[in-house]
């Protein structure tokens, strides 16, 4: 905790102290009492030069006088300040300053006999969770130096200004090593004006970047420069940038986190922070309690607060961190093989904790920071991927923890100070873990071990659910009897069956790979083109300059401009009119020439439909069919190259002339001569029922998972939902006997070509049970 310099201004009657601490009088100080939540206030009447102990720790001694007890025989006390705080205090303290010490320890004063002061001394240090408030002596000269800051709300920011502001953290990337010379942190703020500001902060000293630990924290930035970037205001560090960060929880102690040695902090600041906390509580979605290793969900991403017990180099692009949080992951976890000599950390402890540590493999840009971490430090690792490893033995697959390269999603590593309340809580919990018990766990199943943690009830009910009711159900054919898999394998096709089986494995394991594009006309399947291809195609089409002859026709208005960058790219947007009028953006179809993929996604947020076009000889045309012919919402619509005969864009005019154009993708496709491709999940399930394995295909637009295949690639939420569904259908690391039952309706069919004849099986009229979704 820092030293706070509070400048006295007229009318400030009290020190702005955290509400949780209470004042203690000099004559009530007693040895053996806990003063963690108490403060003592006095006037500095004497201070000594900054000294160093033998181990190099700084120590600063101050004598405080209790001015409310001047008549007492003993009215002064020695205060010893240790560590970084000693240095900070020695720089700012002046005789006559009012000095408040919060969260101190009391020890016998070795000099009481000689100096005639109190028999005890106050001991203050950052490690003990102390805070020191220094309050300038209220003389006239102080009035003039007290700075009064003005704060700009986020909707009032102007390009080219340098401002002070407050904000609630909506998103952040913990400081990481940039490709330049500095550390970088990206922070997105919101405030009650409902505006949003993304700030890019650089500093050569990582300590000088805001100490943000979670979404919802509140920051105060001084002297941040505002610039316009991509049509939006952006904050960037300027000379003299300074920040304070506060816990955003209503009612939590208001203690600024900062590297500034001196800053103003008065009643007004307290008021602002309290107001922002209350506003954020109802206006910002803050996720629930942080994940523990015991609550890890396979295939999802999570933030972990933990202690570092070991680290090791693995190879040129990855580095291993061994961490624990006192709980046990309910799934078998991957242990990264490393050379014994490369593993840094207390060998005895590493061995003791071997069943409780998680191996986290960090990649690329995170390696440098990871290498510099101190064993024993407390970390919050953001966006760890709980990846499902491949099935490497009979017992099924394991979970791997990866911190992938890059900083998307705020991926990174933050070091938490020991004074952080969550670290204090974690430390207490770690101290309470019985290590002998955890070592015995080796012989227990993961599930039994899990019963030591809190969410045992959830897990058990989930397991029971899996063992009793089938996790998939039929939507029809309820009166049909089950057929076993062996009988099906021995029968001729085509036929239809009802089966009850377990899902032993499925492909692809990477669920996003299961999404394909299907043409219902020629029955072909193809991969969904990647964005890079589309971007490439857009760049190609941007080479042809827009032809102004095709601008502003009877059914659309055109606006053209040139980008300010070196490329001087020309962009045209054609706004389709209806009834001679432009409609609301949410009902409007726009066509764009020369745009980038990013610009196109931005347009889809505002307009109903976006069609990428280019100028050809005879008018506007679609791009080639490797690109989507339409973007709507989050979905890119593609056409079949084989079955489509693209028509010129002017054919769309007929739809625009309709009374109420709905701009349905199928209608647009039809008038443009496009045979649309449909998004579909294609998966291979290996089912078992004790009579034999059967490979069955799932070919599903949206009925089985109740998730539209068209939307999954652009929705993190839907991907997580699907992953969770698959984990329920086929829980990783579970023995065959513990797998849930699936009820399915399948049909067999023949596929013949000149050389061979094969029977295939496909799931029909089946859906995931309602309570699994």
Partner DNA sequence: TTAGGGTTTG
Specify whether the CB–CB gap between 412 and 209 falls below 8 A: no
CA nearest neighbour of 290 among 400, 442, 127, 420: 420
Integer Cα distance of 149 and 146 in angstroms: 10
Q: Which is nearer to DNA, 119 or 232 (CB)?
A: 232
Pairing of strands 58-65, 51-52: antiparallel
At its nearest, how many Å lie between DNA and the CB of residue 722? 10
The residues, ordered by sequence, that sit 6+ positions from 565 with a Cβ below 8 Å of its Cβ are none
Q: Nearest distance from residue 449's CB to DNA, in Å?
A: 26
Residues in touch with DNA (CB under 7 A): 170-171, 173, 178-182, 184, 186, 188, 196, 198, 200, 202, 227, 229-230, 232, 234, 236, 301, 317-318, 363-364, 383, 385, 387, 402, 404-411, 510, 512, 601, 714, 716, 719
CB of 99 to DNA, least distance (A): 38
Min separation Cβ 459 and DNA, Å: 24
Q: In the complex with DNA, which residue's Cβ is closer, 169 or 273?
A: 169
Length of the chain: 773
CA angle at residue 408 from 403 to 409, to 5 degrees?
Answer: 85
Give the position of tokens 């020191």: 132
Reduced 3-state DSSP string for 496-530: EEEEEEEEEEEECCCHHHHEEEECCCCCCEEECCC
- Residue 19's SS3 state is coil
Closest contact distance (angstroms) between CB of 229 and DNA is: 4
CA 127 to chain centre: 29
Locate the DSSP E strands across 608-702: 609-616, 619-622, 630-632, 635-637, 678-688, 694-700
Structure tokens at 552: 């502003």
**Cβ closest to DNA, residue 427 vs residue 602:** 602
Q: 584 to each of 56, 576, 650, 657, 734, how far by Cα in Å? A: 69, 11, 22, 16, 53
Q: How far is the CB of 255 from DNA (least distance, A)?
A: 25
Tell the smallest beta-carbon distance from residue 238 to DNA (Å): 10
Distance from C-alpha of 266 to C-alpha of 8, rounded to nearest angstrom: 9
Identity of the residue, 409 or 555, whose beta carbon is nearer to DNA in the bound complex: 409
Phi, psi of 233, rounded to the nearest 5 degrees = -75, 145
CB nearer to DNA: give 93 or 403.
Answer: 403
Q: How many CA atoms lie within 13 A of 210 on its CB side?
A: 34
Q: Which is closer to DNA, CB of 512 or CB of 749?
A: 512
Report how far residue 401's alpha carbon sits from residue 333's, in angstroms, rounded to the nearest whole number. Answer: 8
CB of 361 to DNA, least distance (A): 8
User: The dihedral of CA 614, 617, 622, 624: what is its sign?
Assistant: negative
Is there a cis peptide before residue 508, judged by omega within 30 degrees of 0? yes
CA angle, residues 56, 62, 64, in degrees to nearest 5: 155
Q: Work out the number of other CB atoms within 10 angstroms of the CB of residue 236.
A: 15
Q: Residue 172 or residue 764: which is nearer to DNA going by CB? A: 172
CB of 395 to DNA, least distance (A): 21
Residue 546 gets which letter from DSSP?
P
CB atoms within 10 A of CB 625: 19
CB of 197 to DNA, least distance (A): 9
Q: What minimum distance in Å lies between the beta carbon of 531 and DNA?
A: 8
Tokens, residue 366 = 């995170």
Structure tokens at 114: 């000689």
Strands 120-124 and 105-108: antiparallel
Q: Distance between CA 593 and CA 576 in Å, rounded?
A: 14
User: Shortest gap between Cβ of 177 and DNA (angstroms)?
Assistant: 8
Nearer residue to DNA within complex by CB, 363 or 697: 363
Nearest distance from residue 538's CB to DNA, in Å?
A: 16
Q: Which is nearer to DNA, 182 or 689 (CB)?
A: 182
9 or 635, CB closer to DNA? 635
Task: Give the H or E element holding residue 422.
Answer: helix 421-432
């Amino acid at each position: 905790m820092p030293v706070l310099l509070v400048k006295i201004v007229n009318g400030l009657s009290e020190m702005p102290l955290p509400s949780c601490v209470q004042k203690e009088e000099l004559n009530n100080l007693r040895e053996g009492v806990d003063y963690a939540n108490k403060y003592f206030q006095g006037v500095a009447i004497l201070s000594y030069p900054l000294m160093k102990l033998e181990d190099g720790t700084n120590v600063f001694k101050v004598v405080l006088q209790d001015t409310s007890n001047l008549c007492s025989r003993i009215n002064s006390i020695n205060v010893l300040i240790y560590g970084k705080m000693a240095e900070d205090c020695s720089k700012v303290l002046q005789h006559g300053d009012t000095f408040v010490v919060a969260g101190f320890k009391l020890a016998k004063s070795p000099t009481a006999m000689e100096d005639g002061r109190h028999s005890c001394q106050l001991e203050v240090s950052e490690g003990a969770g102390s805070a020191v408030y220094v309050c300038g002596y209220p003389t006239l000269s102080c009035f003039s130096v007290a700075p009064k800051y003005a704060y700009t709300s986020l909707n009032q920011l102007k390009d080219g200004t340098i401002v002070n502001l407050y904000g609630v953290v909506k998103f952040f990337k913990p400081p990481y090593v940039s490709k330049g010379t500095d550390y970088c942190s990206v922070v997105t703020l919101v405030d009650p004006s409902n505006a949003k500001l993304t700030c890019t902060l650089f500093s050569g000293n990582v300590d000088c970047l805001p100490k943000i630990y979670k979404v919802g924290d509140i920051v105060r930035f001084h002297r941040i420069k505002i610039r316009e970037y991509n049509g939006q205001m952006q904050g960037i560090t300027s000379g003299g940038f300074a920040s304070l960060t506060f816990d955003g929880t209503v009612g939590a102690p208001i203690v600024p986190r900062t590297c500034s040695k001196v800053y103003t902090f008065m009643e007004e600041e307290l008021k602002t922070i309290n107001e922002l906390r209350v506003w954020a509580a109802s206006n910002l979605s803050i996720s629930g309690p942080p994940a523990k290793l015991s609550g890890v969900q396979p295939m999802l991403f999570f933030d972990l607060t933990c202690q570092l017990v070991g680290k090791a180099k693995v190879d040129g692009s990855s580095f291993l961190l061994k961490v624990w949080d006192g709980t046990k992951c309910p799934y078998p976890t991957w242990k990264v093989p490393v050379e014994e000599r490369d593993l840094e950390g207390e060998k005895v402890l590493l061995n003791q904790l071997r069943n409780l540590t998680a191996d986290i493999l960090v990649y690329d840009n995170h390696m440098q920071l990871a290498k510099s971490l101190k064993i024993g430090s407390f970390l919050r690792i953001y966006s760890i991927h709980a990846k499902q490893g491949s099935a490497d033995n009979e017992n099924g697959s394991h979970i791997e923890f990866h911190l992938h390269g890059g900083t998307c999603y705020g991926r990174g590593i933050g070091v938490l100070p020991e004074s952080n309340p969550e670290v204090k809580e974690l430390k207490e919990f770690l101290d309470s873990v019985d290590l002998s018990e955890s070592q015995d766990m080796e012989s227990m199943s993961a599930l039994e071990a899990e019963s030591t943690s809190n969410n045992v009830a959830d897990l058990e009910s989930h397991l029971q659910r899996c063992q009793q009711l089938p996790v998939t159900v039929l939507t029809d054919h309820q009166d049909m009897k089950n057929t076993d898999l062996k009988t099906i394998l021995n029968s001729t096709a085509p036929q239809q069956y009802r089966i009850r089986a377990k899902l032993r494995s499925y492909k692809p394991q990477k669920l996003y790979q299961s999404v394909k594009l299907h043409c219902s006309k020629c029955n072909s399947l193809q991969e969904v083109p990647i964005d890079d291809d589309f971007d490439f195609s857009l760049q190609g089409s941007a080479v042809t300059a827009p032809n102004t002859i095709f601008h502003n026709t009877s059914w659309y208005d055109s606006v053209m401009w040139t980008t300010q960058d070196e490329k001087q790219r020309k962009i045209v947007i054609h706004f389709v009119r209806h009834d001679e009028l432009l409609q609301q953006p949410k009902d409007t179809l726009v066509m764009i020439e020369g745009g980038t993929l990013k610009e196109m996604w931005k347009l889809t947020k505002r307009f109903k439909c976006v069609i990428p076009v280019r100028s050809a000889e005879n008018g506007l045309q679609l791009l080639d069919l490797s690109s989507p012919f339409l973007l709507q919402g989050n979905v890119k619509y593609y056409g079949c190259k084989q079955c489509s005969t693209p028509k010129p864009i002017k054919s769309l005019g007929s739809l625009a002339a309709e009374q109420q154009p709905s701009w349905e993708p199928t209608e647009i496709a039809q008038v443009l001569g496009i045979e649309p491709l449909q998004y579909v999940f294609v998966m291979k399930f290996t089912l078992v029922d004790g009579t034999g394995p059967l490979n069955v295909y799932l070919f599903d637009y949206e009925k089985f998972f109740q998730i539209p295949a068209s939307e999954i690639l652009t929705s993190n939420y839907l991907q997580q939902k699907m992953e969770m569904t698959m984990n329920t259908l086929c829980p990783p690391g579970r023995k065959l006997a513990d797998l849930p039952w699936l009820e399915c309706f399948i049909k067999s069919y023949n596929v013949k070509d000149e050389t061979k004849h094969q029977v295939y099986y496909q799931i029909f009229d089946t859906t995931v049970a309602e309570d699994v979704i």
